[in-house]
Amino acid sequence: MSSNTYSVRGMTCGHCASSVTSSVQRVDGVTAVEVDVLLGRLTVTADGSVTDAAVARAVEEAGYEVVTG
């Protein structure tokens, strides 16, 4: 099992967190999702090989952006 944390731009409320959580949970291999709106962070735990690109796509589908670098 592995865990990765991402910075997410655009989240401002509980509804934002819910949208991101719902979208990322649909990625194959994801077992847990934790969102901190105040810090703009997303922590994803997976039991398989979940790529950063797959997580970023899911976040974008929810209407937000993973910040890199």
CATH class of 2-67: alpha beta
Q: What is the predicted pLDDT for the residue at 44? A: 98
Report field, pTM of the whole predicted structure over 0.85: yes
pLDDT in tens, 9-58: 999 999 999 999 999 999 999 999 999 999 999 999 999 889 999 999 99
Higher per-residue pLDDT: 69 or 43: 43
How many C-beta neighbours within 10 Å does residue 16 have?
18
Q: What is the predicted pLDDT for the residue at 50? A: 93
Helices and strands, counts by H and E, the chain: 2, 4
Q: What is the predicted pLDDT for the residue at 68? A: 83
* Domain assignments of the chain as residue spans, ordered by start: 2-67
Instruction: Give, as one character, the DSSP assignment of residue 16.
Output: H
Euclidean distance between CA atoms 49 and 13, whole angstroms: 29
